[in-house]
Structure 1
């Protein structure tokens, strides 16, 4: 695979040129960007997948929803619907996509919408009877037709964008210079015990003069299903099947796994077919099945409620949480439109 990526280097140069030209045309106003008279926060990345956008969006929902009417707008990756969809009582993972449906189930106080055309999605949200007061755009860092008011760029601790290269040789959707659009950078999935020296080293390597924060994934002490919960410390000693269809699932497995567990790995946003479901059920027998929260929203309708559990996660800022929160609250509180 590494050799193939090196052989594809000329295509990476061509792709990088095309993306750079596109960004230049947006920067110069030749391609039109649209602004909206409402605070719009983008959470995204330069690389493909696995940087922790979902827990970061959820962090912002918890921060903002007690004070403001919040809406999330996502593309709705791998959903079976088209166009603009606003979540209601009939919503499913198939109509919204797994991550938006997860937001909808966890945060009934907010509006959850999907639309591949973010401009149309925002317009539709603002035409609702109950208009949002702030919109969170999920995975829209490269969606230049919307000029948001605040950009949060995520990069994984073990796969920093400053050490990567553009697709297909590397994993970047656009060149490293795309980070200049960020108002804030968060290094995600850090070791909880990361030292100040390590943080300063990363700060120097990234190089951009914007607020930089470090976060880790915080796993819940319990797994849950629709009937109740189990303590993880008790669950670890029980024989079980662990299922994950997410990018970079190893930390999830490490947190739950014991020696006799059966681990089943699927691709990110995997659509579980009938044969997949049958295989999971056969391998589990009467054992407990534990999966990620994102996978749970797709599996809960097809596996016994008493057998299937999920493990919640949160994004936790390692330091300077008050500063982070204040930056976000100041932007939303003082913004009457986008820059």
Structure 2
């Protein structure tokens, strides 16, 4: 794969030019963006996948849901439906996509979960509802510039920061690095647990944020308990198991289990993998399966996996969470209800 990316290096300037020109047309107002008189918060990245958007959206839900009517709006990647879909009792990964389905499973009684590839239409459909939301969280919409969010949160991982990357196809960036200028908050995600102040300063120097931008560092926090459809189990009770992942970057999860000296095999699938019946048949032969929350939502419907399938919950911890919370709430409260 790396060799192919080097071979495609001559293509990179053309991709750079196209994405740069597209953004310029929006910046100049030649291509139109629509803004809204209520809070629309966009969570996204410059790179392709794996930066921690899902836990960031869940964090924002936790911050806002007790004081505001909140909705999430995603594209619904790899779903088998088209147009606007609102999560309801019939929701599944096939109908609304795996990550929105995770939101729905966790927050269905507290927030609205919707999908629409056309974010403008999705926002309009949400506003037409009798219980219209007061705040909309846009999941993975940083490049969807037809919508001008009131607040942009850009995520970049500590291991592969945008400032050390290249645009596609040689690198992983969806657009040139200067796209960071649209961000109100920049979050460096998946940091080591004991990241030193010196290392933070090195990253801050490379980011070189503007006066109107705030930068935060975050890390993944793994639970010590595994959850299944019917029970829980302490991680340290595991003897041997099969780890099944269908996410962009499973390395931190693998490192978590390795650090605990646990014995496991890893069945690694690409992000948003559509599990086949052949996959399920293989899983059915395993004694204990541990997976991610996103993959659990898709796999739990198979009866043969019911008593052996667990997921490991994760949360995100910030270096200065009270300040982040205050900034988000202040932005939302700046709009008249």
Question: How many residues align structurally?
Answer: 331
The root-mean-square deviation of aligned C-alpha atoms, in Å, is 1.2
User: 1:164 — aligned with what?
Assistant: 165
Q: Deviations over 1:225-268 (max 9, x none)?
A: 11110011222xx1211111111102212223555422111001
Q: CA deviation at 1:30?
A: 0.8
Single out whichever of 90-99 and 301-310 deviates more from structure 2: 301-310
User: 1:58 — aligned with what?
Assistant: 58
Among candidates 222, 232, 244, match of residue 229 of structure 1: 232
Q: Deviations over 1:35-94 (max 9, x none)?
A: 122100000000001100000000000011011110000000110111000011111111
1:217 paired to 2:242: no
1:43 paired to 2:40: no
Among candidates 276, 286, 291, match of residue 273 of structure 1: 276
User: 2:142 — aligned with what?
Assistant: 141
TM-score normalised over the length of structure 2: 0.96
User: 2:321 — aligned with what?
Assistant: 321
User: 2:91 — aligned with what?
Assistant: 91
TM-score normalised over the length of structure 1: 0.95
- Residues of 1 paired with 2:64 and 2:308: CA distance? 35
* Alignment map for 1:71-86 (pairs within 5 Å): 71-86=71-86
- Residues of 2 paired with 1:60 and 1:78: CA distance? 24
User: 2:192 — aligned with what?
Assistant: 191
Q: Which runs of 5+ in 1 are unaligned?
A: none
Contact 2:240–2:288 (8 Å) recurs in 1: yes
Query: Aligned with 2:43: secondary structure?
Result: strand
Q: CA deviation at 1:3?
A: 3.4
Query: Aligned with 1:261: secondary structure?
Result: strand
Stretches of 4+ aligned residues off by more than 6 angstroms: none
- Residues of 2 paired with 1:160 and 1:262: CA distance? 29
1:293 paired to 2:293: yes
Contact 1:232–1:256 (8 Å) recurs in 2: no
Contact 2:241–2:290 (8 Å) recurs in 1: yes
Q: Which runs of 5+ in 2 are unaligned?
A: none
